[in-house]
Structure 1
Amino acid sequence: MTRLFGTDGIRGLANVDPVSPEIALALGRAAVEVLAPADGKPTVVVGRDTRLSGTMLEGALVAGLCAAGADVLSVGVLPTAGVAYLTHTLNATAGVMISASHNAFEDNGIKFFSASGHKLEDGQEDAMAEVLTAHPAAGAPVTGSRVGQCVATGDAGQRYTDFLASTFTGTSPLNVRVGLDCAHGAAAPVAPELFRQLGAHVSVCHAAPDGQNINQDCGSLHPERLQQMVVDEALDVGFAFDGDADRLVAIDHTGAILDGDYILAISAQDLQTRGALARNMVVSTVMANLGLDKTLQAMDVELHKTQVGDKYVMQDMREHGAILGGEQSGHILYLDRHTTGDGLLTAVQLLNAMSAQQVPLQELAQILQKFPQVLVNVRLQHRCDPLQFDSVRKAVHAAESALNEDGRILVRMSGTEPVARVMVEGPTQAVIEPIAEHIAQTITDSIGGA
């Protein structure tokens, strides 16, 4: 049976189950039943990104929470990590973010945080799904003074940016020219203010959300305009966020893109130099480039790899006591600073590394030499593991034999959408691109593309 919750909450086309007002209303009730203590009135922090459907889903979710007896602190448009931070620091029972992260505006999603500010464990999510299935509106109605109320918090953004600014360890004011791409998303109200608060000269693009332009040819998946802006305006560094600002792609002063692998390598070196890399360990996923393996090995740093999804990186980090981990996509975790991935926090930590070494980001990035890599996404008509098909397995095995020890192949399903991902690494782009395309075509022929 397919789980209601994916690797990052519930996500899909907005106003269609499971991302419908009806499900959101029932989720609000279920969340109180599963997450709230038996005594006392629970408090839930609720935030959203800038999607057109955000207020619709927020209204339904808040109604469900209040109907079940929870008070709601509405923080409005705020990055996902801001919701997690406020959930923990305001001693709330839980937090909820309404966002589909890097997806197009037509999609939306709902993700929950525990009282500690961490994403929920699978068991907690499954318990909520079970409540929805078994009795979506069962039980005696909450009445009188036990009914919850929703209150807007006017200082949520300032509380969050004050926290982020407090993690900057360099010299203030920050004498750096910074470019920001806010993806017309949740970073727009807070990111420019944060870096101005640090004293940086700030140039901004894609910070005018209209409900439909979130992630549209901008942000961490499409940083081309920011790259050009960094070069044209002679900026020192650029930071591109996604729709809910939980991931970051950095741009050095030459316009080169630095993804999560580079960020992990730079941060590992910075923390190790300061004697602050707990357990001398970094956690990433199977998508991490082979170059990261080689770099960390040379630093005598242990690298753990998990399945894709920052929640799985988090689980491994907490299990082994690591403080640094993340994904190639730019979800980076600094567990000595925060409970979840945070694109804005990641940007500040890169500025810390630049300040400590007194060198440009480009020079810091030289620590990592990447293997050529290609990623092909195959959109399918329905979710289906490609590796269950003999034709796909044979194509992968033949390609692995051809690459021998000079590369690797990974075929997996996306955790949030009906997309098969084919990743190939090897000695040159000329070698790996035909391999990736052949495997992708085999998947399409075997399963059927969308």
Structure 2
Amino acid sequence: MGKYFGTDGFRGEANVNLTVEHAFKVGRFLGYYFGKDHKAKIVIGKDTRRSSYMFEYALASGITASGADAYLLHVTTTPSVSYVVRTEDFDCGVMISASHNPYYDNGLKVINSLGQKMTADVEQMIEDYIDGKTEELPLATRENIGRTVDYAMGRNRYIGHLIMTATRSFKDKRVGLDCSNGSAWQIAKSVFDALGAKTYVINAEPDGTNINTNCGSTHIEVLQKFVLEKGLDVGFAYDGDADRCIAVDEEGRVIDGDLIMYVCGKYMHENGTLNNDTVVTTVMSNFGLYRAFDQAGIRYEKTAVGDKYVYENMAQNGHSIGGEQSGHIIFSKFATTGDGILTSLKVMEAMLEKKAKLSELAKPVKIYPQLLVNVRVQDKPTAQADPDVQAAVKSVEEALGDTGRILVRESGTEPVIRVMVEAETEDICSKYVYQVVDVLKAKGHAVEGK
């Protein structure tokens, strides 16, 4: 990860550590870099945060000042920007969003011409320009100054693309949608209405400061209550930029990303569309998911945490579905990034084609109890590499055998070592997590009281 760009773009609190000057310079660099030998076209989308409008204008100013044209999708989802970039001959795209973060945060997700997250080398060049490590870029003049173009039609084409992915009508299905007061607030209902569902929508009144506030995929209890109160067949909750989806079955049970991957992966396996009979997960997926895959004859691969790494694996190996427990699910036939609305459509497909309730489809997965303890440390690599810590981890692995697992990893954003155990009971999880945590503390790696 770079100084500004992490695994999910340039993110920070608006006008604190992500400023309009940053956005202007990102626009300046992209307009210059992609416009060296032609008139570059760059598409911009944004979520409903108040600061997204500010950053949209700053980006567009930078892009046009460098001589490129900025196309505005306005309020839209991250996957829609990815779709428009790769299908409509754009040089790149930028999504203004901090995803599931609070409204006062924001971010710039830069997307390449293939609809994927921008490569690290280009992100590094942007960072060097922001920090003044490179020469100032030339300003376009006269007729070479770029234009700003209203491009709402691109968002409409994306809606059409979603509708076309459905295999049958949703007629008479009662579906709840929690739009998180974010990017999905108009798009999701439009899609489900067009497919004939009886659509019940909550948290679709964005005011610039209520995105993700007690709603959406990070507060799934709201949708659980709504589904039960209304007697709905299923519910779907999205995050702020709608690249995640968490479902709720008709009994009010949470169907997270792991369970969605099982439901959709097994359905695809049965109808012959699961490439290589393999689902791609991250190392954080639940042990119970892997056991269910084993019983269903489905192979799986594990990547580092981050949908970026999931997609890299899928692209390299030709796999057709992968994702994260958090609800980032990628269907490579239709998208190059996680797409919450698309995910909900694919869950509906499995339910309709199998003529089954979502609770029935997810039932074979026994989710194992999980305990995650974060230990703040002085130095992550030193703590991780300590022979006594490694010996403690190995001891737990041997004790658990094939009845559970332990995962010890460094946080990508904090001075923290994460110790996670999954096992058959919560007591077993607690016993083995603290067996490792106690060693970290005894060896002096932990920073107490911070």
Specify if TM > 0.5: yes
How many Å separate the matches in 2 of 1:434 and 1:396? 12
Alignment-derived partner of residue 196 in structure 1: 193
How many Å separate the matches in 2 of 1:446 and 1:112? 36
How many Å separate the matches in 1 of 2:40 and 2:188? 30
Alignment-derived partner of residue 45 in structure 1: 43
CA contact (8 A) 1:185 1:244 kept: yes
SS in 1 for 2:237: strand
How many Å separate the matches in 2 of 1:337 and 1:308? 22
Match of 1:84 among 82, 85, 104: 82
Matched, 1:278 2:275: yes
How many Å separate the matches in 1 of 2:121 and 2:134? 18
Match of 1:112 among 97, 100, 110: 110
Consecutive unaligned residues of structure 2, counting only runs of 5 or more, are: none
- After the TM superposition, which of the residue ranges 287-296 and 384-393 deviates more from structure 2? 384-393
- After the TM superposition, which of the residue ranges 247-256 and 68-77 deviates more from structure 2? 68-77
Matched, 1:121 2:113: no
Task: Decide whether aligned partners of structure 1 residues 422 and 322 sit closer, same or farther in structure 2, where only a CA change above 3 A counts.
Answer: same
How many Å separate the matches in 1 of 2:251 and 2:323? 25
How many Å separate the matches in 2 of 1:187 and 1:108? 17
Q: Percent identity?
A: 41
SS in 2 for 1:45: strand
Alignment-derived partner of residue 11 in structure 2: 11
The Cα of 1:415 is off from its aligned counterpart by 3.9
The Cα of 1:375 is off from its aligned counterpart by 3.4
How many Å separate the matches in 2 of 1:338 and 1:349? 12
* AA aligned opposite 1:234: G
Task: Decide whether aligned partners of structure 1 residues 121 and 2 sit closer, same or farther in structure 2, where only a CA change above 3 A counts.
Answer: closer
Task: Decide whether aligned partners of structure 1 residues 139 and 216 sit closer, same or farther in structure 2, where only a CA change above 3 A counts.
Answer: closer
CA contact (8 A) 2:266 2:298 kept: no
* AA aligned opposite 1:150: T
Task: Decide whether aligned partners of structure 1 residues 79 and 376 sit closer, same or farther in structure 2, where only a CA change above 3 A counts.
Answer: farther
How many Å separate the matches in 2 of 1:402 and 1:303? 24
Alignment-derived partner of residue 356 in structure 1: 353
Match of 1:151 among 146, 149, 152: 149
How many Å separate the matches in 2 of 1:213 and 1:414? 28
Match of 1:295 among 260, 269, 292: 292
How many Å separate the matches in 2 of 1:200 and 1:418? 47
How many Å separate the matches in 2 of 1:393 and 1:77? 48
How many Å separate the matches in 2 of 1:293 and 1:225? 29
Matched, 1:23 2:50: no
CA contact (8 A) 2:384 2:409 kept: no
Match of 1:325 among 322, 326, 338: 322
The Cα of 1:298 is off from its aligned counterpart by 2.5
Normalising by structure 2, report the TM-score.
Answer: 0.91
Could you say what the CA RMSD is over the residues aligned between the two structures, in angstroms? 2.5
Match of 1:264 among 255, 258, 261: 261
Matched, 1:177 2:167: no
Alignment-derived partner of residue 65 in structure 1: 63
Alignment-derived partner of residue 53 in structure 2: 55
CA contact (8 A) 1:287 1:308 kept: yes
* AA aligned opposite 1:131: Y
Normalising by structure 1, report the TM-score.
Answer: 0.91
How many Å separate the matches in 1 of 2:183 and 2:417? 28
Task: Decide whether aligned partners of structure 1 residues 147 and 377 sit closer, same or farther in structure 2, where only a CA change above 3 A counts.
Answer: farther
SS in 1 for 2:211: coil
* AA aligned opposite 2:12: G
How many Å separate the matches in 2 of 1:77 and 1:44? 16
CA contact (8 A) 2:47 2:240 kept: yes
The Cα of 1:382 is off from its aligned counterpart by 9.6
Alignment-derived partner of residue 446 in structure 1: 446
Cα offsets for 1:265-309 (capped at 9, x unmatched): 111111112111112211111011112222222233221101000
Task: Decide whether aligned partners of structure 1 residues 145 and 102 sit closer, same or farther in structure 2, where only a CA change above 3 A counts.
Answer: same
* AA aligned opposite 1:151: V
The Cα of 1:398 is off from its aligned counterpart by 5.6
CA contact (8 A) 1:235 1:253 kept: yes
Task: Decide whether aligned partners of structure 1 residues 122 and 153 sit closer, same or farther in structure 2, where only a CA change above 3 A counts.
Answer: same
Matched, 1:102 2:86: no
* AA aligned opposite 1:13: E
SS in 2 for 1:112: strand
The Cα of 1:431 is off from its aligned counterpart by 2.1
Consecutive unaligned residues of structure 1, counting only runs of 5 or more, are: none
